[in-house]
Chains A and B, each alone.
Chain A
Amino acid sequence: MAEGRLVIGNKRYSSWSLRGWLAVHLAGLDVEEVVIPLAGGGGTDAIKSATPAGLVPYLEHRGARIWESLAICEYCAEITPRLWPQDRATRAHARSIAAEMHAGFRNLRMAMPMNLGRSFPGQRRTPEALADIARVEAIWAEALGAHGGPFLMGAEFGAVDAMYAPVVARFITWQPELSTTTQRYMAAVRAHPLVARWYAEAAAEPKEWLLDRYENPA
């Protein structure tokens, strides 16, 4: 018997949903998964009627209602603390860069939307997106250098990796110029069983869910 439900957008496009979904699965919550196809450019009526903020992901679990990806990560970490590093300073580092992801990189997100089924190498390299990419690369290089990889805080895939997993997906799709360090991290994230499962389930979504604006970007 499920203890709640997780409302997400379809897996091919919904980058924020991927974050919440990863956190929920990393924490092992037993929740029903409700997938609502995105319409692009704002929440659909179905999403608006199903979630308090009109956005996905949205989690209901044992009487708690949680929205916003970072809040979902924090909630999941209350149940499974190893989603954040055990060491205080390392945990502070992880939280800082997770929060930076949550609050920022808008230009990257706007220019290079997530589409797990397509590849658009070399496109949409706007100056603003390139500046965001440079910052993401710096964040990853610092974390990987400090904690030894293969994930940002070391050996375990945690909440901070969940926060950056959709960035990995964007980089795989849009293929900007990236350092080898970044590419190694991307390979580690892509190969993680949960990320691989999300990709597989995205590939199995009905064709009717495809959106022209994401499939044929200008």
Chain B
Amino acid sequence: MGIKMRKKVFVKCMLQYGWLLLIEAVLAMIVSYMLVQGNQIISVVIDDMLGGKKVVFASFVVQFLIFTAVGVLASFIQSIAASKYAVLICTKYKDLVVEKLYSIEYKYFDSNYVATLLNKVIGDLGQIAEFLESVLPQMISNIIAIIIYSVYIAQLNLGLWILIVVSYPLIFWIANILVKKISGLQKIFRQKVDKMAEIAQDAVNGILVLRSFGMEQIFQKKMHTATEELVENEEKRTQMTNTAMVIRKVIQWLPNIISAIYAVYLVQQGDISLGGLVAFILVLNKFVEAFIELPFCMVDASAGMVCIKRMEDIFETKEEINGTECVPIDTNITLCFDKVNFGYTQNNLVLQNLSFEVKKGENIAFVGESGGGKSTIFHLICGFYEKTSGSYQLMGRRIEDWNRNALRQQIALVSQNVFLFPTTIEENILYGNPKATHEEIIEACKKAEIHEFIMTLPQGYQTIVGERGAILSGGQKQRISIARAILKDAPILLLDEPTSALDVETESCIQSAIGAAMTGRTCITIAHRLSTIVNADKILVLKQGHIVECGTHNELMAFGQVYAMMYGEAIDNEKL
């Protein structure tokens, strides 16, 4: 594992378009070579001039213009190759990230805020793009320039070359140490920015509560503290980076001074000509420039690496278990749990020793206190979470053998938190079955008792629902989600408190609609309503993660324990 593993996906992307990188490098070489050749002319001309020869302008002007033309062309293509490379990788990488998010194990979303994730993907990818677009090409140009220039200096005088080759790596080494320290602080900086984004998202999502409680000042204060921390962190960071910068600059000057003095000595000795000295100084200037840029590139690159690392964390996270079986076995037992344990964390089990069986076409109901793990069972059935131990089978196949998508095709889930996509009502319902005709949609909506309401909207089925269906009431949203589930026409129906947010009138409508939808299907309900409970073929009573009672309504009433008590309370409530 370790660091190499961590950048796997990114490196793969980089290699895929490696040919562009190669073009970029070759062209960078041509550009640098043209600049060196220009300098060579200068050196020769100066010596000619000092030697008293007549300088013929025409002879070198043409040469120079050719160099310029080649240089411009090479640089143009180099720039396009570099940008293209960046865009291609970023696009590919973004695709991969989103794909990965689609198949990542569901647990991941429990521990990560949506805001953090958004920031990660958008912000980090931006930073990675910058790394690819500007830092990387700069790095390539600089490294190639350094090579070309040092070859030129070596030609000029080997002693000078050795002097430079010995002194610069030392500076490189020092810069490296500094880069490492800065990289750590960069991570903290991103975290602080993340935190600020989280506060902002929190405020928008909870705006109704925030506003009705007048919490504006609290949030303002929170944000203020966060920004203050950011500024404080910046103060520390820049103090360090700048001290490093001053030291580096001074050290970097040293080889410059030494080699200049040495060059003077060489001229005095007659080892190099004065024209050579001038050319050396000009090239040294460019060489140093490139060399100085390099550590800066490294700092920028290390900031980019932090982002890449964070993205690769996503890739490293396990995917959902996904088997290969796509076809159910024809069996009478639709669902079978055998001693299943489950906990979100290792030592805190939400479900313990869960065993039950659901036969084809059966209608069973879970009842029990809130937080007792009922919704978790649904998540297990849908394959969102992996059991801690035990085993369970759906339609004759072990859950881990099922192909995820095939499994979910067997199940229609109406969950507690209704989520409507920000698109038209029709499209939202179409999610249930994209091939459905308009008539089928209307039929599903009629069954869910929502058709009439939709028709009262000015744009009917084409009405765009806001995020989380803001313009619709809770009941309306729920009925749309039921229509969606009806349209899916899956053999298994999971209803998680579907009638909870409805008024009595609508509820009874929906009860009958669901009743119709349930025929010929296996149905598992998390129930609160007496009508649901009484009609169930089997009732499972859940308490603190255990099934404490199991049987039909009559059996459990006769048993006279937990269920009977709950039922009694419910009856009291229903009476007005």
Do A and B actually bind? no
